[in-house]
């Protein structure tokens, strides 16, 4: 009975992101949508799911999955590789946020009250780092 929550799957998002490197835009596409519907709007371009550096063109009858990111690439680049600069550009276009800094914030009023009494005794509470003493190994000459 305790494992019931592991059997329930969260609902899938109802949109997918379509990144256009030529226009440097992101479009949200309501799923289920066929790849052919989107390729008709941009002739000469194919849709590729973004998983790794390999670009694989989707078939026209395949449908897009919710919550995934897709890239609109020219036909000549289909089944090729993405470069590092393309990946950086995709991340900047998608607006991915950087890692948040974990930790507490110190309010300026509180930090002013801390006085100098504790600063002088700070070194005695630090933990010494372990430094192993390495001795040479002498070999016998026979």
Return the pLDDT at 119. 53
- Whether the pLDDT of residue 41 is over 70: the answer is yes
Q: Check residues 131 and 36 and name the one with the higher pLDDT.
A: 36
Query: Hey, which residues does 81 pair with through a beta bridge?
Result: 54
Look up residue 111 and give its DSSP letter. Answer: H
Assign domain 15-96 one CATH number from 3.90.550, 3.10.20, 2.10.110, 1.10.10: 3.10.20
Q: Is the pTM of this model over 0.75?
A: no
Q: What pLDDT sits at residue 3?
A: 60
Mean pLDDT within 113-133: 62
Q: Has residue 60 got a pLDDT over 80?
A: yes
Domain boundaries, the chain: 15-96
Task: Reply yes or no on whether the pLDDT at 115 is more than 60.
Answer: no
Percent of the chain, pLDDT > 90?
A: 1
Q: Is the pLDDT of residue 39 over 80?
A: yes
Higher-confidence position of 15 and 110: 15
Closest to 20 measured CA to CA, from 95, 91, 93: 93
C-alpha Rg value of the chain to the nearest Å: 28
Please write down the HEC assignment for all residues of the chain: CCCHHHHCCCCCCCEEEEEECCCCEEEEEECCCEHHHHHHHCCCEEEEECCCCECCCCCCCCECCCCCEEEEEEHHHCCCECCHHHHHHHHHHHCCCCCCCCCCCCCHHHHHCCCCCCCCCCHHHCCCCCCCCCCCCCCCCC
3 state DSSP class of 47: strand
């Amino acid at each position: 009975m305790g494992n019931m929550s592991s059997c329930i799957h969260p609902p899938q998002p109802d949109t997918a992101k379509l990144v256009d490197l030529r226009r440097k835009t992101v479009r949200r596409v309501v799923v289920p949508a066929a790849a052919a519907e989107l390729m008709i709007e941009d002739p000469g371009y194919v849709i590729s799911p973004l998983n790794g550096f390999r670009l694989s063109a989707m078939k026209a009858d395949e449908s897009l999955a919710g919550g995934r990111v897709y890239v609109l690439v020219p036909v000549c680049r289909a089944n090729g590789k993405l470069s590092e600069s393309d990946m950086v550009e995709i991340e900047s276009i998608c607006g991915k946020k950087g890692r948040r800094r974990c930790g507490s914030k110190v309010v300026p009023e509180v930090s002013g009250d801390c006085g100098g009494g504790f600063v002088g005794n700070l070194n005695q509470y630090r933990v010494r780092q372990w430094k192993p003493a390495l001795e040479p190994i002498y070999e016998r000459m026979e």
